[in-house]
Structure 1
Amino acid sequence: RRGADSYSNVSGNPWPLEIIRPIRGTTADLKYRLSILTFLDYSDSVPVIKWEFLPDEIESILDYECSKASCEFAGRKYTAWFTSDIPLPFGPYKFGGLPGLILKIEDSEHQYVWEAIGFENTNVPIMKYTYQDGNDKRCSVSDIEKTLARYFNSPIGFLIASMGGDGNRIHVVGKDGKRMNNADAAKQSIPYKPLEIK
């Protein structure tokens, strides 16, 4: 709207999770965006992460000298690079608590990697976007886990069920270029490794 830039799935999927994390406090508001224009709203705790500093390992990211630290979070081991030149104790997702901004963090399997690619000075205020399509569903963390497992197990089946017989039709084209029937399409799954294992 109003000429604003938006993410496109053509060049790659955007991170499907929006997180509003308070400067102080232990709870964040999250919105998980599924590819079918369904938004799952929930609140979750922001953990206090126990970091192990690795003082002899320095890396340059975006011309900032970054120190290295490691931690365990939600069943995965992570390595983070942070810069004390930007003394903000934040990072992507729920990561934070270091004496500087996290510019890169990755898990030991390289399934989840976040890296800053640039900074921009702007006077534009940070605003929380409100979706107007009415597809927001308020739920619990447990509901999110179950819904995501169902969604990735059968995205087309999930879409068919969520359209609820409104007379909408779904046409899925297979790799061979031919239209699949809905029963075969519903058997297709997407590999899924949750970010938080426990």
Structure 2
Amino acid sequence: MKKKLLVLVLSAVMAVGMMSGCGAKDEASDSKAEATKDVSVVEDQEQETVECELEDGTYTAEFNTDSGMFHVNEANDGKGTLTVKDGKMTIHVSLVSKNIVNLFEGTSEDAQKDGAELLEPTTDTVTYSDGATEEVYGFDIPVPELDKEFDVALIGKKGVWYDHKVSVTNPVKVEE
């Protein structure tokens, strides 16, 4: 019994260790910053965006939201298409309708500022398990990190902005 528990714990620790690579800070660069004791270097590194360790390519990934109204279409089993190119990640998700007209990577407050770049919808056709099809809106959403919540604001047909927390998890490489 103790051996099984030990194996289970070690497996969980290894799995977490492997999945924590995307978006994690580079420990070597942190050590260098501390060694130089240069405040400006430390500040620059904290603001630096860390690229993902996933190799360039296409993946399926789970798109999780904090809302029953804003989620991936049931035809796609809660998943979107994650694209990694030059270390930058974007997930394409097909929603349940055409009621959400724009998204913004950030908060609703920032989305309403001058110069805010809104994410425009695409028109996607989804096919349900019974064979029926429907046109819905889809969005290409930049993903700053895997397995970590980030802010997304949306505006619907009524013109009201809403804040949501989303995350992208469990990427699986699509074989080409």
Larger RCO (CA within 8 A; separation ≥ 6): 2
TM-score (norm 1): 0.22
Q: Return the structure number with greater helix share.
A: 2
